[in-house]
Amino acid sequence: MKNQLTIGLFGFGCVGTGLYEVLNKTTLLQASIKHIVIKDLSKKRIIDSSYFSTDSNRILQDDEINVVVELINDSEAAYEIVTTALRAGKHVVSANKKLIAYHLNELVSLAKENNVSFLYEASVGGSIPIIRNLEEYYNNDSLSNISGIVNGTTNYILTKTAEGESFDEALKNAQDLGFAELDPTSDVDGFDAKYKLVLLLKHAFGFTTKQDAVWNYGIRQLKDWDARYAREKGLKIKLLAFGTRINNQIVGFVAPHIIPNNHFAFNVENEFNAVVVEALFSDKQLFLGKGAGSHPTASAVLSDISALQFDYAYEYKKSKTEEHLSFDSDYSLKVYLSATSQEKLDQITFIETHETYTGQSHSYKIGIISYEEISKQDWNNAPDYFLAVIPDSIQLTKNTDISTEKSAHLIEELS
């Protein structure tokens, strides 16, 4: 039997407004918004002002409200809202990936203790139903890899730089279109994608990692010559979140990748997201959809609300094997590394060198580098460098490489 859902909504920005609109267009959902808490009562809204207040207790202490939907940007304020709601026995739907990445185990425990659901499909991939599929379709431990474009802002910027715009021009256009914030740090330095990767690792492999353990490097330092190099070689640069399981080891990071035209992400452009899941039996499967925007993200929130009609909750079945897994940082990668001078380039130690170039404006090197060497540098704040990973090239120091054949193919592409 369907449950009647009475919703208290925190936040009425892009996604909150979209949720109100899609909720009122669906006829299959027994749910209604009773009250909305916002910061600024002076803004004009598309619905009557009687819905709104700035008092969170209007929702959190209302016994009629059995679902709290949290759609605000402030992760600290969201923490107080979500934990209070869970303790009050209310189901919670959230899109706040930073909040969840920092407090995942605590929030999951709180939900279980209070016999309610905590759902967050909209926190990863916008309209892509990736978390539910990892929970339900891939509900065993046969997954080996998960990777993808999970940030629409950086993908839009990289689409435009591939077309010849400078990074600064592309970022300004993204801000004008509402894809990027005035302070784009979380997006362009890869933090947003890292928070999402933490959640993907949990649902793909049952592994909880502290977000500080995951290396994130974004696209802030992309230079015109790097984008030109990729264009001339028929390649593209994409910011990918990557996770893999090798035996009982988990490797995960966020970094720019330089990819050939047969890579799944090659034709994923603008604000679109794409995630590929690779499993022992089903091989590779691609999930593609809009990763940003009012209605696409609201559709994922609506999906969670709809699931609550039937008391749906994540079961985290794969987490039962978590005690046998560990996060590995003892590996090497094949990379393209450019620098503003040969002297700067020579300061980075490579295990192997496959190609070098020295010019007046910049130099670059393609070869193998250890994560230990990578971790010595704060790449997001290193304007003299730009690094891009060559996919399918991870080698665990203690084991064999993941895909020698694929790596060899890409060396040919880059030569």
Tokens of 141: 């431990």
For residue 261, report the phi and psi dihedrals to the nearest 5 degrees.
Answer: -75, -5
For residue 53, report the phi and psi dihedrals to the nearest 5 degrees.
Answer: -155, 175
Distance CA 166, CA 223 (A): 8
> Do residues 194 and 185 lie in contact, with contact meaning Cβ atoms separated by under 8 Å?
no
Of 181, 243, 186, 260, nearest in space to 219 by CA: 186
Distance CA 239, CA 256 (A): 4
Measure the CA dihedral 220/223/227/229, to 10°: -140
DSSP string, 34-52: EEEE-S-TTS--SS-GGGE
> How far is CA 281 from its chain centroid?
25
Of 312, 293, 16, nearest in space to 135 by CA: 312
> Do residues 321 and 142 lie in contact, with contact meaning Cβ atoms separated by under 8 Å?
no
Distance CA 256, CA 388 (A): 5
Helices then strands, counting H and E runs in the chain, come out as 14, 18
- The H or E element containing residue 32 is strand 31-37
Distance CA 118, CA 82 (A): 9
Distance CA 12, CA 45 (A): 9
**Residue of 97, 160, 196, 290 with catalytic role:** 196
Of 266, 260, 263, 228, nearest in space to 413 by CA: 260
Would you give the DSSP letter of residue 160? H
H-state helical runs in 88-237: 97-113, 130-136, 152-162, 167-176, 185-188, 191-205, 224-232
Is residue 334 annotated as part of the catalytic site, yes or no?
no
Residues with a known catalytic role: 196
